[in-house]
Amino acid sequence: MKRILLALFGVLAAALALLSPAYAQDKGKVYYLVPTLLDEFQTGSISALEMFLGQVGYEMETLNADNKTDVQQSQMNDVIALKPAAIILAAVDFNALKPGIEAAMAAGIPVVEFDRQITSTPSAFTSVAGTIEIGYVAAGEVEKLLTSKYGSVKGKILQVLGDPGDPYTLDIQKGFEEKMAAFPDVQIISLPAMMWEASNAGTIVSDQMVANPDIDLIFNHAAHLSVAAAAALESAGKKPGDILMLSSNGAPVGLDLIRKGWMQVEVEQPLYAQAAAVAMFMDKIVNKQEIVAGEYDVLGLKSTVTIEAWGPNIKIPGAAITMDNIDNPAFWGNLQPPTDTIPAVE
C-alpha cells in the first residue's frame, strides 16, 4: 500500500509540475538584441524582459552590440540562421537595421521593436514609450521651473540629445521644441552626445559653460548624460541648483541626482511597462495572430495599441519625477520590479 501511495504521489507531483511556470518554458527561445550596456535603462531592460517573458513561457538570450551598427547587423544575420521564436530589437541605427528586419520577417521570424521605434519597414510589434509625449511633459516641467525662477517663461536652455541616429531622442526633441515654441523668450541650444556617450555630454556642457555662461537650464535626454553634466558643472565651480537640470528616462542615477539637488526633474521612460507589453502580446506575435487596436492596461498604465504602416504599435505613457514623488516604487529607477504576473492577451 505504501508503495502504491508513493507512486500516486509521484504521478500527482509530475502532473502539478507540468502545470507550473517552470514547465511553461517550452514555447521557444527569443533573442534580444540590445544596443549597449552603457546605461541603466538598457541593463534594466534585459532583466525586465527576461522576467516577464519567462512568466508567459519563453526563454530569452541577449546579444549586446556595444553601440556598433556592424556588430548588430552581424548578430541579426546570425540569429536569423538559428530560427528563434522571435527577435526583440533595440536598434543601434534604425536605418541600418532595416534590411535585417526585412530578412527576418521574410524568414517567418517575427521582429519586435523595443524602445526604439522603426517606421521604415513593417515589424510584428513595437513597444515604445510615448517619446513625443515625454518631450511634452519635459516642456511643461521646464515652463514651471523657468516661471519659478523668473516669473515668466524665459531664459537659455542647453538641450543635450542622445545619438542623432536614434528616433527616441529625435522624438523627444520634436515634442519638447514643439511645446517650447510657444515661448519666444526662450533660446534653445541643441547638441548631440554621439553614441549616447556620457563623456560626450560632459564635454558639451563644459564647452557651453564657456561659450554660454548664462545658460539657465540643461535638458539631457538620458539620466547617465546628466551624471556627466553634473560633474562638468561641478568642475566649473557650480553648486547643486545653480543651473536647473532635468533628463528623460528615470534611471536610478537620475533619481540620485534629484535627491542630491543637481537635478529637479526626471521624466520617466516606463521600462517595466514596455517590457511587460512585449510579454503580454508575445503569444500572438509568435503565432502570427491578429493584434487588435485599442486601450490596454499595462501594469496599471493606460496604454494604446494602434495599427500603423509599420505594424501594431503600443505607446505607453511616462511621468514626471520630482522630490515630491521620488520614492514611489512604481518608478523603475527605484529598482523595485513589479511582482504581478503578466497575463498573455487573448
What are the residues whose beta carbons fall under 8 Å from the beta carbon of 242, sequence distance 6 or more?
Answer: 233
What are the residues whose beta carbons fall under 8 Å from the beta carbon of 342, sequence distance 6 or more?
Answer: 52, 55, 56, 276, 279, 280
pLDDT of amino acid 25: 55
Q: How far is CA 263 from the centre of its chain?
A: 20
pLDDT of amino acid 290: 97
Nearest of 280, 249, 62 to residue 166 by alpha carbon: 249
Task: Determine whether 252 is exposed, middle or buried from the number of CB atoms within 10 Å of its CB (0-12, 13-18, 19+).
Answer: middle
Beta bridge partners, 338, equal none
Report strand pairing: 217-220 vs 59-64. unpaired
Domains of the chain: 19-129+271-318 (3.40.50.2300), 131-267 (3.40.50.2300)
pLDDT of amino acid 10: 39
pLDDT of amino acid 118: 92
CA 187 to CA 76: how far, in whole Å? 42
Residues of the chain falling short of pLDDT 70: 1-25
pLDDT of amino acid 7: 36
pTM for the complete prediction? 0.79
At residue 12, what is the residue type? Answer: L
CA 65 to CA 271: how far, in whole Å? 20
